[in-house]
Amino acid sequence: MFRSDDFKELSVLHKAITAAKFSGSAVNDELAGDPTLAGVSDRLYDALAKEAEKRKAGPDDYWQDWRRVNTSQGYRGQWRTAVIAARRDFMLQSATPEERISIAKCYLSPFTCTDGELRAFLDEVDGRTGNHSLDTLMKEHSFTGASLLGCTCELSGTARVALMEKGGKVCDIIFSGVKRFELSSARGMSPDTIDTVDKITASSGKTHRFEAVLSSGREKKSLVIEAAEVDYWL
């Protein structure tokens, strides 16, 4: 049986588990809500906090404050990646109310949540709350000149676009049930070279459509996404 009270080993193991649970990738969905890994994650954090207390590593309340879930985290925060992973969990959809709360705790471990936050998490998973209109997003924000932080599409049918406005505010847009994803360039350059947004048009309805003209130096690209559902966080 593996045992360790080495602070560095515990810290690295904790980071590895957290990175896997909250990667946002469908490849890791099996880990994101796994109850066994959730229990291991909780016990590991308890051990890490206990060892940190012995070493006086950080203020007295640091480890307790860090463990509190943050429902408004920035780019690719744990809350939103857990929401997206839980939406792909068919067992959650057919579970009883009590089972749904237990499953929600697994997705959010090792973070601590109030009962209200767990209900809010499930409401967001069910699409009852959150922002779902691209029309509203485009009316309230101008992304001309914004930087593209990330653009991905997975085989699971989920696409993500992260934009940073000139003022530094980040908008993370999640598309589910993607029907079309096209990233075209005259030279076929890597998506990693995309930097600046020249123009965005978007609309919401039965199908959500997002279209952007992007540039990196003299190179121009177009990005088109059509999907059944959309969420965004700012």
Which helix or strand (DSSP H or E) is residue 49 part of? helix 35-55
Residues 6+ away with beta carbon under 8 Å from 70: 77, 78, 79
In this prediction, residue 186 carries a pLDDT of 52
Question: What mean pLDDT is predicted for residues 174-186?
Answer: 84
Residue, of 16 and 166, whose pLDDT is higher: 16
Q: What is the mean pLDDT of the chain?
A: 82
Chain centroid to Cα 85, Å, comes to 8
**Percentage of residues of the chain with pLDDT beyond 90:** 19
Q: pLDDT tens, 191-206?
A: 455 578 888 888 888 8
Alpha-carbon distance of 63 to 46, in angstroms, equals: 9
Quote the CA–CA distance of 21 and 31 in Å, as a whole number: 6
Q: Read off the amino acid at residue 62.
A: Y
Angle at 131 between CA 127 and CA 134, to 5 degrees: 120
Encoded amino acid at 230, one letter: V
Task: With a cut of 50, say whether residue 189 has pLDDT above it.
Answer: no
Which runs of E-coded beta strand occur in the chain?
147-153, 158-164, 170-185, 196-203, 208-216, 219-233
- The model's pTM is 0.65
Neighbours of 117 (CB within 10 A): 18
Band (pLDDT 50/70/90 cuts) for residue 75 is very low
| pLDDT-wise least confident of 35-44, 162-171, 201-210 | 162-171
Amino acid letter, 142: S
Residue 36: its pLDDT value, please?
95
pLDDT digits (tens, 9 = 90+) for 116-141: 999 988 988 887 666 678 888 888 88
Alpha-helix residue ranges (DSSP H) falling in 56-205: 62-67, 78-87, 90-93, 97-108, 115-125, 134-140
pLDDT at 188: 46
DSSP state of 131: B
Residue 59 preceded by cis peptide, ω within 30: no
Residue 130's closest CA among 164, 163, 86? 86
- Going from N- to C-terminal start, the domains of the chain cover 7-125, 134-233
Residue 176 confidence (pLDDT) above 80: yes
